Amino acid sequence: MIRGNGNYPNDSSCISCVQQRGKGIINKSHPEPWSAWRVISSQLAHKRDLIPPCVFLASQLRQQIRMKPFTTPYSFLVERLRGRGARSAWIEYLITATCGIGNMLFGYDQGVMGSLLTGPSFEATFPSISNGNDTLQGFTVAVYELGCAAGALTVIISGDRFGRRLTVMLGELIIIIGAILQASSFELAQLIVGRIVAGLGNGMAAAILPTWNGECSRAKNRGRAVMWQLNINLFGIALAYWVDYGLAASPRTGGNGWAWRLPLALQSAFSVLTIVLALFLPESPRVLMRNGKVAEASDVVDMLSLEEDPAARSLETRVVVSMIEKTLQEDMQSNSTWQAIFTQGKPRFFQRLVLSAFVMSMYQLTGVNLITYYV
């Protein structure tokens, strides 16, 4: 609170006051205005009763400018949640929801094609895969998985170089292109290319979304956040089935091309929503630290903190940033190679590899993908 008798000059006089006091400092030893401002503030600290309100207002503005997220183009949404204690957790929830929508699209793509293969309009448009040619029909559906595999491999490079958010948005943009190609197809070749393109984008997004979600979640919530994000994939599969059924049963769309074109075009709706939400959300602090953007990483950690007190939030931010920096330094000093995953050692890399591969192999051996893609 500003003390004093309240008889302060107007704004122009306040500006003149600051300029008068700072003129010599700025011209002599502090050419950078903010540096001079610090000196002026320290000189006037013992005369608080005489300081006009503009000094304190400008100081608050300066703090807001310094703390503005550099990595979020439209930050007004998350800025309203910064430093609000428990309510700041909504930033994490928004990130999880965005990743969930992206993962729901992966499930939607898994389930959308199977019901379309036997539609009258689809068979009339693509007779070559509707006259008992099971091999070509299976290839048309499964080629999507080849695109997913290729897209997931690109994340090895793009995930760290371009960041999680940009990789997600790039993947979603590629999905939109693939959806347009599929929905506008009149030839089988175009449909296959559209499936590959959509798979490429979905592989990129699905591979990086859990990482972005996990790196922006607090330790005690990380497992739950990633679990919810991955489980919503099942909702996407169910949604695809119901969309296919509803449009096929509708008297308006059941007998024309909309019965299969609209379900394929709806892929882009999920992608657009994911891109829009990602514009308002922060980048992973780990990626920012890895790319040398310490100020931006500190700002994101500060934003994600649940501490309402600025001092406590600042302390927590320094601790978390220090831990991230230490982890990155250990990664660089370890000189890890691809061969390391086949060794045991203290981190037990090989055991983790076998466990992960075993779980996913058992998942595939259940035959669930056969039902998901072709039923």
* pLDDT number for residue 240: 93
What's the length of the chain?
375
What does the alpha-carbon distance between residue 155 and residue 160 come to, in Å, rounded to a whole number? Answer: 8
pTM of the prediction?
Answer: 0.74
Q: What is the mean pLDDT of residues 162-177?
A: 94
Domain ranges of the chain: 11-67, 77-288
Pull the structure tokens for residue 207.
């591979």
Residue that is written with structure tokens 């039902």 in the block = 371
* pLDDT number for residue 161: 87
Q: What is the rounded average pLDDT for all residues in the chain?
A: 78
Secondary structure of residue 74 in the 3-state scheme: coil
CATH number for the region 77-288 comes to 1.20.1250.20
Q: What is the CA radius of gyration of the chain?
A: 27
Are 198 and 178 in contact by the 8 Å Cβ rule? The answer is yes
* pLDDT number for residue 305: 87
Q: How far apart are the first and last CA of the chain?
A: 68
Nearest CA among 106, 99, 217 for reference residue 165: 99
Write out the H or E segment, with its range, that includes residue 100: helix 89-112
Q: How confident is the model at residue 74 (pLDDT cuts 50, 70, 90)?
A: low
- Dihedral class, residue 155 (left if φ above 0, else alpha if ψ from -120 to 50, else beta): alpha
What does the alpha-carbon distance between residue 148 and residue 98 come to, in Å, rounded to a whole number? Answer: 20
Pull the structure tokens for residue 231.
């489980």
Residue 239 sits at the vertex; the CA angle it makes with 233 and 240, to the nearest 5 degrees, is: 95
What does the alpha-carbon distance between residue 275 and residue 213 come to, in Å, rounded to a whole number? Answer: 15
Q: What is the mean pLDDT of residues 267-286?
A: 92
Pull the structure tokens for residue 38.
């610090």
Are 103 and 237 in contact by the 8 Å Cβ rule? The answer is no
* pLDDT number for residue 118: 83
Among 127-131, 246-250, 341-345, where is mean pLDDT lowest?
A: 341-345
Are 188 and 128 in contact by the 8 Å Cβ rule? The answer is yes
Q: What is the mean pLDDT of residues 60-66?
A: 39
What does the alpha-carbon distance between residue 262 and residue 18 come to, in Å, rounded to a whole number? Answer: 63
Pull the structure tokens for residue 190.
């175009």
Residue that is written with structure tokens 């190679």 in the block = 337
Q: How confident is the model at residue 17 (pLDDT cuts 50, 70, 90)?
A: very low
Is the pLDDT at 3 greater than 50, yes or no? no
Q: How many helices (H) and strands (E) does the chain have?
A: 17, 0
Residues contacting residue 85 through CB under 8 Å, at least 6 positions apart: 306, 307, 308
Write out the H or E segment, with its range, that includes residue 269: helix 267-279
Is the pLDDT at 8 greater than 80, yes or no? no
pLDDT tens string 214-255: 888 888 888 888 888 878 888 999 999 999 999 998 888 878
Are 183 and 261 in contact by the 8 Å Cβ rule? The answer is yes
Are 313 and 305 in contact by the 8 Å Cβ rule? The answer is yes
Q: What is the mean pLDDT of residues 24-51?
A: 42
Nearest CA among 100, 114, 368 for reference residue 241: 114
- Please tell me what DSSP assigns to residue 135: H
Q: How confident is the model at residue 72 (pLDDT cuts 50, 70, 90)?
A: low
Nearest CA among 321, 353, 355 for reference residue 338: 353
Q: How far apart, in Å, are the Cα atoms of 189 and each of 140, 153, 186, 195?
A: 9, 24, 9, 10
- Please tell me what DSSP assigns to residue 75: -
- Name the residue with higher pLDDT: 336 or 201: 201
Pull the structure tokens for residue 370.
């056969």
Buried-exposed string 310-325: b where 16+ CB fall within 10 A, e elsewhere: eeebeebbeebbeebe
